[in-house]
Chains A and B, each alone.
Chain A
Amino acid sequence: MATISREEVAHLARLSRLAVTDEEIDMFAGQLDTILQAVARVGEVDVEDVPATSHNVDLVNVLRDDVIDACLDRDLALAGAPDPFSNRFRVPQILAEGE
């Protein structure tokens, strides 16, 4: 049985902010199904009393002194922007009329 449906792939694509085409959904549905079945093997290991590891470095809350340090120049930070405007990053409309 497939672990993932076409509709779920379309939903995942939306969550992932990918405007996939219908053909891509067909292709990805089969591939994601194979991948998810392969990685589901993690469920075969007995890990009942084993804690999770998210990271290999035993560091918590690395802080520095609260002082102004060198940072990226504003114009340099904006230099790669697709549509800089008046020292800001401009984007298309965020809210439609009435929202």
Chain B
Amino acid sequence: MESLADRTAHELSGMLAAGEVSAVELTKDALGVIERTNKALNSFLTVSDVQAMSAAKAVDEARARGEKLGPMAGIPVAVKDVLVTKGVTTTAGSRILEGFVPPYDATAVQRLRQAGAIIVGKTNMDEFAMGSSNENSGFGAVHHPWDLSRVPGGSSGGSAAAVAAGQAVAALGTDTGGSIRLPAAFCGLVAIKPTYGRVSRYGLIAFASSLDQVGPMTRDVTDAATLLEAISGHDPADATSLEDPADFTTGLDRGIKGLRVGIVKELFTEGMEPEVAAAVRRGIDQLVSLGAQVEECSLPSFKYALAAYHVIAPAEASSNLARFDGVRYGLRSPDARDVTEMMMRSREEGFGDEVKRRIMVGTYALSAGYYDAYYDKAQRVRTVVIRELEAAYENFDVLVGPTAPCVAFKLGDRVNDPVAMYLADIATIPMSLAGIPAITVPIGLADGLPVGLQIFGPHFSEAQILRAAFALEQSAGFDSRPRRDFAHSAAPQAKPGQP
């Protein structure tokens, strides 16, 4: 069935301004799709239909009064459940926060509301954003809209599935080591991880504070640029947020003639699926035909980025997740004899296996006997990654490679092998360690499933990588219309996280 929410935000924004459609009609359509498809996809943990309808009504009334509205006004948007929403349940995909209702809005959420975007609900995710498949959710796996037997990628898997299935026009995700880019690539979407500090982390439930960043997941580059503009900017509540002019839509179509593009050969890893590599190479050929000067380059430290990340991120997580102790919010195990037993049992009952593994790995890496061999080494490797990138940017304006080494894999394929799961992020992690912006844009199919090409540049080069992505998008001609024809897919499997 046709739905208004299948269109892009910029198209809808024009229709809303011209009075061809109302925010109420559009929101109703999105909510209708959610109602019909959420059972199969499990992409939403909370649907805020009542709040969404009243927000849509308010936007229509403001428009009727002749108020000047921005490009996101009236657009149904989904928000990853790791961003706190005032009065709307927020779980971060964890049983330990089941039923938690935050008393305030994350800054990114607040900015969405100010921009008039309609938040239709909170999307499923890997618990505390730890995972690459969304199978680590405490509330069941999310299914890929193109093939229900496959994963949508993670950790922002619910946000990706929601946009790819037309449950929302756009979504917010968060990216610590690839959690926006990987699911977007798997589901055929555009997504940008901004420069670290571009978007406030206030109200983002912390996983690894030196890496976490909020970003948009959309059906095209124009929408990504528009949504990023809406959420960017300094926030006094986040000391690491930075002020930088956020104009990404002007000049998006200027083209990339003469742009110096470096292909990072280390991102074409040994275990990469050949069809995925071929699709990415075809995308790179298009950059050449668009007038870019393309050359191969080497950043040897990228081979060690995955290892460094899986020391640094768990180390930060082991500290950040200490706050879930059954005292101030969330699950508390009853009948403990003393406070330590209460904390140990609450955490044991509330956390899933991957979260426990990462807390223990992080605790190990930070402990006295191992700090030098693991945490200190990993932080130095991080410096090497940053230095090699800085050197590369003397010769190149942007760098490119695949977003993922594979297409969306089958549910259950990697759940019992944590290291195999980590490998899905091998091409997205170096940019996270360096805090640089990176965008994924769908460039074609491999085995009938979407493949993303990744473009990344120096700090605050969002306008440039968006422009390159826009040019590529125009020439790739990827069909980003939402999929809801689940009939040919395998029947959904049992939901592992459900009791």
Chain A residues with CB below 8 A from B304, complex form: 41-42, 44-45
Verify B210–A50 contact, CB threshold 8 A.
Answer: no
Find residues 361-390 in chain B having any chain A CB closer than 8 Å to their own CB. Answer: 361, 363-365, 367, 373-374, 376-384, 386-387
Count of chain A residues with a beta carbon within 8 Å of a chain B beta carbon: 55
Verify A12–B363 contact, CB threshold 8 A.
Answer: yes
Chain B nearest CB from A6 CB (Å) reads 13
Residue of A nearest to B351 (CB): A18
Chain B nearest CB from A42 CB (Å) reads 4
- What is the bound-complex CA distance between A32 and B418, given in angstroms? 9
Chain A residues with CB below 8 A from B363, complex form: 12, 15-16
Tell yes or no: A52 within 8 A of B by CB: yes
Tell yes or no: B338 within 8 A of A by CB: yes
Given contacts A80-B328, A82-B331, contact A19 B419 (CB under 8 A): no
Verify A93–B338 contact, CB threshold 8 A.
Answer: yes
- What is the bound-complex CA distance between A92 and B47, given in angstroms? 36
Chain B residues with CB below 8 A from A54, complex form: 210, 379
Chain A residues with CB below 8 A from B325, complex form: 17
Chain A residues with CB below 8 A from B308, complex form: 39, 42
Tell yes or no: B193 within 8 A of A by CB: no
Q: Name the one of A19, A40, A51 contacting B347, with C-beta atoms under 8 angstroms.
A: A19
Tell yes or no: B497 within 8 A of A by CB: no
Chain B nearest CB from A82 CB (Å) reads 4
- What is the bound-complex CA distance between A92 and B353, given in angstroms? 26
Q: Name the one of B326, B374, B419 contacting A82, with C-beta atoms under 8 angstroms.
A: B326
Find residues 176-194 in chain B having any chain A CB closer than 8 Å to their own CB. Answer: none
Chain A residues with CB below 8 A from B197, complex form: 56-57
Name which of B65-73, B236-244, B397-405 contacts chain A: B236-244
Tell yes or no: B295 within 8 A of A by CB: no
Tell yes or no: A68 within 8 A of B by CB: no
- What is the bound-complex CA distance between A82 and B304, given in angstroms? 43
Given contacts A16-B359, A40-B307, A53-B386, contact A4 B377 (CB under 8 A): no
- What is the bound-complex CA distance between A78 and B361, given in angstroms? 32
Residue of A nearest to B383 (CB): A53
Count of chain B residues with a beta carbon within 8 Å of a chain A beta carbon: 70
Given contacts A82-B326, A89-B327, contact A45 B381 (CB under 8 A): yes
Verify B330–A80 contact, CB threshold 8 A.
Answer: yes
Chain A residues with CB below 8 A from B101, complex form: 79-80
Q: Name the one of A15, A16, A52, A91 contacting B379, with C-beta atoms under 8 angstroms.
A: A52
Given contacts A28-B357, A39-B310, A59-B240, contact A53 B379 (CB under 8 A): yes
Find residues 42-96 in chain A having any chain B CB closer than 8 Å to their own CB. Answer: 42-45, 47, 50-57, 59, 62, 64, 72-73, 76-77, 79-83, 89, 91-94, 96
Residue of A nearest to B355 (CB): A18
Verify A57–B435 contact, CB threshold 8 A.
Answer: yes
- What is the bound-complex CA distance between A50 and B308, given in angstroms? 14
Verify A35–B384 contact, CB threshold 8 A.
Answer: no
- What is the bound-complex CA distance between A7 and B434, given in angstroms? 36
- What is the bound-complex CA distance between A51 and B214, given in angstroms? 28
Q: Name the one of A31, A43, A56 contacting B196, with C-beta atoms under 8 angstroms.
A: A56
Tell yes or no: B249 within 8 A of A by CB: no
- What is the bound-complex CA distance between A89 and B390, given in angstroms? 49
Given contacts A31-B418, A81-B327, contact A17 B103 (CB under 8 A): no
- What is the bound-complex CA distance between A57 and B211, given in angstroms? 11
- Other contacts beyond A39-B365, A73-B103, A80-B328: 5, CB < 8 A: A27-B353, A57-B240, A76-B104, A80-B329, A81-B327
**Interchain residue pairs with CB less than 8 A apart (7):** A16-B318, A17-B325, A32-B364, A80-B328, A92-B338, A92-B341, A93-B337
Q: Interface residues, chain A, CB within 8 Å of chain B?
A: 4, 8-9, 12-20, 24, 27-28, 31-32, 34-36, 38-45, 47, 50-57, 59, 62, 64, 72-73, 76-77, 79-83, 89, 91-94, 96
User: Which 3 pairs, one residue from A and one from B, show the smallest C-beta to C-beta distance?
Assistant: A56-B435, A52-B379, A47-B380
